[in-house]
Structure 1
């Protein structure tokens, strides 16, 4: 029973749950039935799956600081989430009037610092990091800070907002812990409280470790669920590692393994073909991802091919937000600290908010809002 109470405390921490106006934590000394816990989880999951709400982000700020040169250092342009954010930055940069150069680290630790050095040598006015761990890059970021070159990033730390102890003024992201909770709760709801779970993460990144820990905590708190294993697989090597990892897990757990949770959709790109080759019915295994919302994930959800959910990032919107945060720094203003709400994509809503284009692109007019802030046509 204590585990159920802990789970409900996790559920209550979600903003999507708070939006329902329903208290989810019982009064001290009362008991909680498993069905009550499941009902509370269903409310959270349903709230996260609603269409995009009207824009609740910034509506004012400095006008466009046109003519700036900005360098983007991307962790790995093979990653669909990173590509989506970079595309958003390029789209917004064209509107605001900036020149952008892209440097790809290719998911290789040795190249990260080299690409930062190359970016610095290009003489940028600002730096945008996409997908790398800010603290792991400190030696490469310090020369930018010494030259007063502002830095913002996407998914560069475990929390959204300024990154303490680094020169990164703003980490743009949805709340990673909320993303993780919604993902795990969706699996619990879909399974009727009986999910048998393997979690995939990448310990090279703090944000990935935090997501995996949170998903594991939610699964452990479900009295009828089982956390079979948390498997550490480097995202940059997922193409090589996931096929044999998936086969090994099937050999170990067999039919007991019914749910796969991951910190990124890319793991499923290489796990799903192995499941098909092994003759696993698409109804026997469900995959849910705590992040990104790649094109391949949308396709799997639309076709019912194993994946049943992804807590999709508004990648293009995040690209525009990165440009706006950088523009504020260029103008001598502070960052907004804005965090966009989480959104769960399932078969029931996959066609909405950009889903027909295989992306999550909220239909809330964010482009027009930013154009007005920047005073650009």
Structure 2
């Protein structure tokens, strides 16, 4: 299976950077035998749905550097993933003894650099970026670098770790390609290898393009599946655009459309009411998201309302990790490069690891471990 996944990662991913709002499915890759494919896919999906593993992150590091002032620039606090991470930052910052000021771009492209400028004017000791694209934000990040202000981010690049070509010392994230692989494989398993798939993405973000590319590559490799379309839609405009797009897709594909995949749960917030109004039964459509594990997604999964899974980020944990990475930079130490394991939330495991609180919060004692590292009560 590892060789199969590596092949997909290295050679079968096509770009959606130039896609318009409706893109026909590209030519299929060589399909994999149905039974063998399903067996391999099921092994990956079963591993991703197990309870959270014991903590595999750092256990040592510098003690807290209290009294720091942190600016957080959020791409859009209406996005449940970003909001969850910011909540985690606030929780960890209180333990650390830091003050935090939040600047929200509201998903508006013309406000991103303005919010960074406002954050710079507040003279913070450190900057945390929640969402966005580090390379797009580079003009606004350079003044922080010129002041030697350390910068860490969440979901600001395609891979966890330092972001080359930018002053972002650490991008905190699960591996987005692994997230996308698990999402698409789960859809194939749940459909019995016969999914008619539409993928929703936002090509203005590289991480979203990469997720969509990987999901499309996986679907094309399933001999019994059909990639109907990749729909490019800005996340920040999903509320206005998704209802109409859903109606158009239903009219175009009818019963052929049996599976919706998305790079974020928020698309389904506005698709589900349309499906319900159309009288579609819950079992006629499966929905899975390659991030981030919003409250509304957990509710849909728990009630069996179309959505059957989300590859949820441990949002609160990521907030704590951002604070820890920043503290290491304050101490003159290197970042950890730690990436949390991928976890698929379904109806079968939703009651565990924070699911009763409508979030994925791994039961691995990460808060106590970070407190011990920081030497904070």
Aligned counterparts of 2:32 and 2:250: Cα–Cα separation in 1: 35
Structure 1 residue 12 displacement after superposition: 8.3
Counterpart for residue 161 of structure 2: 161
Residue in structure 1 matched with residue 27 of structure 2 by the alignment: none
Correspondence 1:9 to 2:33: no
**CA separation in 1, counterparts of 2:164 and 2:34?**
40
Check the 8 A contact 1:8/1:40 in 2, yes or no: no
Counterpart of 1:178 in structure 2 is: 178
Aligned residues: 356
Say if 1:376 and 1:12 are closer, same or farther in 2 by CA, change over 3 A.
farther
Deviation at 1:229, TM superposition (A): 0.3
What is residue 360 of structure 1 aligned with on the other side?
Answer: 360
> Partners in 1 of 2:261 and 2:320 — Cα distance?
29
What stretches of structure 1 of length at least 5 have no aligned partner? 15-30
1:34 CA displacement: 2.0
CA distance in structure 2 between the aligned counterparts of 1:349 and 1:61, rounded to whole angstroms: 33
Superposition map of 1:143-162 within 5 A? 143-162=143-162
CA distance in 1, matches of 2:3, 2:93: 43
Ranges of 4+ aligned residues in structure 1 off by more than 4 Å = 11-14
CA contact (8 A) 1:11 1:40 kept: no
Secondary structure of 1:274's aligned partner:
helix
TM-score by length of 1: 0.93
Alignment of 1:1-377 (within 5 A): 9-10=4-5, 33-377=33-377
The CA deviation string for residues 191-243 of structure 1, in whole angstroms up to 9 with x for no partner, is 11111100000001000000000000000000100000000010000000000
Pairwise CA RMSD of aligned residues?
Answer: 1.5
Counterpart-to-counterpart distance in 1, 2:208 and 2:319: 20
Cα displacement (A) at 1:37: 1.5
Higher RCO (CA-CA < 8 Å; seq separation 6+): 2
CA shift, 1:10, in A, is: 1.5
Secondary structure class of the residue paired with 2:283 = coil
1:33 shift after superposition:
3.8
Change (3 A) 1:259 1:32: closer
